[in-house]
Structure 1
Amino acid sequence: MSDYDSDKEDMIALVVTTAAIAASHYYENRISKESCRNSKLTGKKYIVELVDDNPVRIYENLHMDKVVFKKLCDILTTECSLCDTRGVSVDE
């Protein structure tokens, strides 16, 4: 077998491997997604689930991380005198 044939086989193996990696990456990111909008809860229960669940989901819904959301609730409670009512909590 010549060096040309060996180089050609190596190039084919590299192309096939690269295509397999690209296909795997596409599948993981586009096709096989974990559902993150699956809640049937509302109100306080929804907020608790949102905060305790998927970090991507809380960011998509509130446009802030969990830590920032909790800090905002604390600031609104302590510095702005916002408080829970019978129907709505500060978190909501």
Structure 2
Amino acid sequence: MEEMHNESLEEMEYEYMKENMELDLLVVVGVEKVVSYHTNYFLKQPCRDSPQTGWKFMMEILKRNGTRCHEMFRMEKQVFHKLCDKLRSYGLEATRRI
């Protein structure tokens, strides 16, 4: 009888530990998600902080890698240059504001 009582206690302890381990795992995964969200959406570094405007800004963008040009103008550098050439062929000229 005592042996059965010990076995049932051991089973209860095992189940209790198993439930606690599952809860611990859920807590760890939850904390990882919160940290990941915080890192991605709250800890941001300014990336578009150029002090340049107008022509200088355009030249800064065009001199950098192609990714920044594509992000800003939604076209590759070569396409942007062809567009500018095409607009000039129609008589459009650069002005102070354009």
Q: Higher relative CO (CA 8 A, sep ≥ 6), structure 1 or 2?
A: 1
User: Which is richer in helix?
Assistant: 2
Quick one: which amino acid aligns to residue 72 of structure 1? V
The alignment status of 1:22 with 2:49, answered yes or no, reads no
Count of matched residue pairs:
81
TM-score by structure 1 length?
0.61
Q: Is contact 2:70-2:76 (8 Å) kept?
A: no
Structure 1: runs of 5+ lacking an equivalent: none
Higher Rg of the two aligned structures: 2
TM-score by structure 2 length?
0.58
- CA distance in structure 2 between the partners assigned to 1:56 and 1:11 by the alignment: 45
Per-residue deviation at 1:48?
3.2
Partner of residue 73 from structure 1, selected from 71, 76, 80: 80
Per-residue deviation at 1:87?
5.0
Q: Is contact 1:36-1:57 (8 Å) kept?
A: no
- Percent of aligned pairs sharing the same letter: 17
